[in-house]
Amino acid sequence: MKTTTLLAAISLFLGGSALAGVDYAPPSKAVTYEAPIVDTTCFPAGFEFSGFAAGFFPDSDRYDDEIGGGVSLAYFYNENFGFNLSAAVYDTSSEIQNYTLDAIYRIPIGCVAPYAIVGGGVHTDGQTEGLFRFGGGIDFRMMDNCSLFADGTYNILGGDIEEYTTARVGLRWVF
C-alpha cells in the first residue's frame, strides 16, 4: 500500500507540474507580406509620339472639306498636364499645312482620359496666318505604351482666312 500511495503521489506531482504554469511554444517566425507597389495610372508623365488621320472642315466655301494627316510629339509633366507640338497637312484646293503648339489638360478616369486643348500656331497655304485653337478629345489607353485617341479643334485665324474645324483620329505611343 505504501508503494501504491508513493506511486500515486509521484504521478500526481509529475503530472501536476507538467500541467502547471504558462504554455510554452517555440517562437514562430512572423511572416509579413508587403503589398507590391503598382503604378495605377495609365497616363504617366513623359513623352508621347502620335500619328493621325485628320479631317478639315472649313466654315466657308473658300476650301473644300478634305482629309489629311500628321504627326505630333507631346510631353506630359504629370498624368494631367502637358504640351503637344503638332504638324498636319490637308489636301484641299491648295495644300494646307498647320504647325501648332497646344496645352493639354486631361482627366484620367481609369484608362480613359477626356482632355481639353488650347493653343496656337501657324496656318499656311501660300499665305501664312497665325491661328488660335481650342477643343477637346478622348484618349483610350489600350496597352501600357499605346493608346487610341480622337479629338477636335476649332481654329480661329487672323487675316482673310475663314475659321475651320479639324478632327483627328490616331495612335499614341508612350516612351
Q: For residue 130, which of 139, 138, 121 has the smallest C-alpha distance?
A: 121
Which triple of cell numbers denotes residue 68?
Answer: 489629311
Class of domain 49-174: mainly beta
pLDDT of 2 > 80? The answer is no
- Burial class for 112, CB neighbours closer than 10 Å (0-12, 13-18, 19+): middle
pLDDT of 103 > 60? The answer is yes
Q: Of all residues in the chain, what percent are helix, strand and coil, respectively (each to 5)?
A: 10, 55, 35
pLDDT tens per residue across span 12-65:
566 555 555 555 556 666 667 777 765 567 899 999 999 999 999 988 877 778
The whole-number pLDDT of residue 82 equals: 97
pLDDT of 1 > 60? The answer is no
In eight-state DSSP terms, residue 93 is: S
| Pairwise CA distance, residues 10 & 18, whole Å | 12
The whole-number pLDDT of residue 16 equals: 58
| Pairwise CA distance, residues 165 & 168, whole Å | 10
Q: Tell me the backbone φ, ψ of residue 12, rounded to 5 degrees.
A: -65, -40
In eight-state DSSP terms, residue 109 is: B
pLDDT of 7 > 60? The answer is no
> For the chain, what are the domain ranges?
49-174
pLDDT tens per residue across span 75-85:
999 999 999 99
pLDDT of 167 > 70? The answer is yes
pLDDT of 172 > 70? The answer is yes
pLDDT of 93 > 90? The answer is no
